Amino acid sequence: METSKSVHTHTHTETDMGTKNISISEEAYERLAALKKPNESFTEVVNRLTKRRSILDLAGALNEKEGDEIRREITSLRKASSMRTKSIAGRVE
């Protein structure tokens, strides 16, 4: 037995831009609505979630202890990689 799913359509009108109507599943609508902040339009939600981000947006994401731990791990991985590279190069020569 096939079940039907309802579709929501939302239109947001801007004075300086055109609009497009889109159809999304009930599940997609519920997910989008759950991410919507108070007084935020669905257009604003989509723009916020899909905007291009800069690596600088990550600044401050880690505390000093976490940063130090990651630096140590990177240093360790680079040493191991360098040793493997030297080992392989020695076998090739």
Q: How far apart are CA 14 and CA 74, in angstroms?
A: 48
Which residue range forms the structural domain that includes residue 90?
61-93
Amino acid of residue 34? A
Q: What is the pLDDT of residues 59-82, one digit of tens each?
A: 899 999 999 999 999 999 999 999
Radius of gyration of the chain (CA): 25
pTM confidence score: 0.45
On whether both 40 and 78 belong to a single domain, the answer is no
- Has residue 91 been placed in a domain? yes
Q: Phi/psi at 91 (nearest 5 deg)?
A: -75, -30
- Has residue 7 been placed in a domain? yes
On whether both 8 and 44 belong to a single domain, the answer is yes
Q: What is the pLDDT of residues 11-63, one digit of tens each?
A: 655 556 688 898 999 999 999 999 999 999 999 999 999 998 888 988 899 99
